[in-house]
Amino acid sequence: MTEQLLYFTELISMPVYDLKGRRIGRVKDAAIVPLVHAARIDRFLVGGEYSWLTIRYDQVRSLSLADGIRLSDEQLVPYHDDEYMLRIGRDLLDQQIIDVNGRKVVRVNDVTMTIAHDGQRDTVSVLEVDIGIRSIFRRVAQGLMPPRWIRRLQWRIPPNSIRWDFANVVEPDPQRRLRLNISYTKLEEMHPADLADIVEELGPAERGAIFETIDSEAAADALSEVEDPKMQVNILESLEPEKAADIMEEMAPDEAADLLNELEDETSEEILDEMDSAEKSEVQELLEFREDTAGGMMNTEYVALHDNATANDVMAALRGNEDLLDGLNTLFLIDEEERLTAAVPLARVLIAAPETRIRELASDTLIQVPVNEKENRITEIFDKYNLLTLPVVDEEGKLAGVITADDVISVLRAR
């Protein structure tokens, strides 16, 4: 069994011969049927005298650059558009795909395939998607000079390709996505910031397709990493309210509230209606505050304990709140009336004996702001006291939420 390479640009317009060696037409396109096989060219579409014909992969006896395609079976059926086909020339060439490994959006110039001989027939499979100058040269020169010359000339240009398993096709139509067996699970494992970069480079339809398909948690993380607020809004508006609500529930309440603020009232009502009541009420509380005040900047994800809690109690409280742990660096203490009394750096609790009252570990001065404190003043306070977390209290001194350093960075970057 030997293998050799074939470019899609070479396959196009390759002559096809029947059993008696008569030429019946030239190749116009080739298609994969992903539900059957992920990489094998399943159909060759041939332009015959009057219409296009379909050649199944098992009707090909031999296929080579020098000799064209020789059939082993001439029972060809006319081509009709089949939604299960991923046509390389139509659906892949010149379109944008996602390079999952390189974490970027690329445009397909050409496709490299391998020909496998197993004695009975020659099978063609997609190996790589070609990007970069070498494949541009092939496309521009295609048909202007013999393929042999193109192959000889191109070796000077460094190749640039992506393995087919790392190439993720973007298909806006959900029906076709199913039929073509396209999934975006590989994208869910990416870092949200990388996924956001990818999404920013795609068109709106493709963007919507990705957010519709990936799970809500990954979608929420990626959405909050999208830099342009206008684009965040456009993405949310393009989604079904149910899906948008699922994504909102996964987001930090302050970010969700900020985003809903940017939406038109009608749309944000629709989304709120679809949200679970717990997340909904948190977000709705935050929506009350003006965006450029402490209330608008804060989120309600914090850990507060009663005044005389011990280090042991802290551990117990944290065990029930694993989803908060990623960004947690400060604990808050409150009295019977829920008034804020102290802030405790988390790291101090780690080295304290289990029975220690954590009130004793609190920072010397308690720095807090009222909900209507201005944005400018808050950034000043963060700078002056080198804070990571700043508690926000309401008129009665009750803890209302916390502002974290990343909220301040967002404000500063937006200037």
Partner 1 sequence: MKGLFWRFRYHLAVFFAVIGPGFVTAVVDNDSGGILTYSQAGAMFGYLPLWTLLPITLLLIIAQEMCSRMGAVTGKGLSDLIREEFGLRATFIMMALLVAVNLTNVMSEFAGVASSLELFGISKYISVPLCAVAVWFLVVKGNYQSVEKIFLFACVFYITYVISGFLVKPDWKSAALYSVKPVLLLEPSYIYMLIGMVGTTIAPWMQFYLQAAVVEKGVTAKEYGESRIEVIVGCFMTSVIAFFIIVACAGAIYHAKGPTDIKDAAEAALGLKPFGQYAFLLFSAGLFNASIFAACILPLSTAYSVCEGLGFESGVNKRLREAPIFYFLYTALIVVGAGVILIPKFPLVQMILLSQVLNGALLPLVLIYMILLINRKELMGEWTNSGWVNGVSWFMVVFMIGLTLAYVGITIHSL
Rank residues 96 and 312 by Cβ distance to partner 1 and give the closer one.
Answer: 96
Assigned token pair, 265: 């009232």
- C-alpha distances (whole Å) from 406 to each of 227, 349, 371 are 14, 23, 18
Min. distance of Cβ 211 from partner 1 in angstroms? 14
How many residues bind partner 1, per CB under 8 A?
22
Place of tokens 């404190």: 373
Rank residues 133 and 366 by Cβ distance to partner 1 and give the closer one.
Answer: 133
Question: Degrees (nearest 5) of the Cα angle 91, 83, 102?
Answer: 40
Min. distance of Cβ 135 from partner 1 in angstroms? 9
Q: State how far the Cα of 376 lies from the Cα of 366, in Å rounded to an integer.
A: 20
Q: Taking CB under 8 A as the criterion, which residues in 78-97 touch partner 1?
A: 93-95
Amino acid at 288: E
Contact 410/296 with Cβ under 8 angstroms? no
Assigned token pair, 81: 């558009």
Contact 290/313 with Cβ under 8 angstroms? no
Rank residues 232 and 310 by Cβ distance to partner 1 and give the closer one.
Answer: 232
Residue from the set 36, 205, 325, 350 that interacts with partner 1 by CB under 8 A? 205
Rank residues 141 and 367 by Cβ distance to partner 1 and give the closer one.
Answer: 141
Min. distance of Cβ 20 from partner 1 in angstroms? 35
Residue from the set 54, 109, 123, 389 that interacts with partner 1 by CB under 8 A? 109
SS3 label, residue 175: helix
SS3 label, residue 147: helix
Residue from the set 64, 114, 181, 234 that interacts with partner 1 by CB under 8 A? 234
Q: State how far the Cα of 44 lies from the Cα of 56, in Å rounded to an integer.
A: 7
Other CB atoms within 10 A of residue 259 CB: 23
Give the closest residue to 42 by CA, choosing from 181, 178, 166, 139: 181
Tell me the backbone φ, ψ of residue 312, rounded to 5 degrees: -60, -45
| Residue range at the interface with partner 1 (CB under 8 A); choices 216-224, 228-236, 276-284, 401-409 | 228-236
x-or-dash string of contact with partner 1, 53-72, rule CB under 8 A: --------------------
Min. distance of Cβ 247 from partner 1 in angstroms? 19
Residue from the set 31, 106, 124, 195 that interacts with partner 1 by CB under 8 A? 106
Contact 105/198 with Cβ under 8 angstroms? yes
| Residue range at the interface with partner 1 (CB under 8 A); choices 139-147, 308-316, 327-335, 362-370 | 139-147
Rank residues 212 and 279 by Cβ distance to partner 1 and give the closer one.
Answer: 212
Min. distance of Cβ 234 from partner 1 in angstroms? 6
Contact 76/59 with Cβ under 8 angstroms? yes
Q: What residue ranges bind partner 1 (CB under 8 A)?
A: 93-95, 104, 106-109, 131, 136, 139-140, 142, 203-205, 207, 228, 230-231, 234, 237
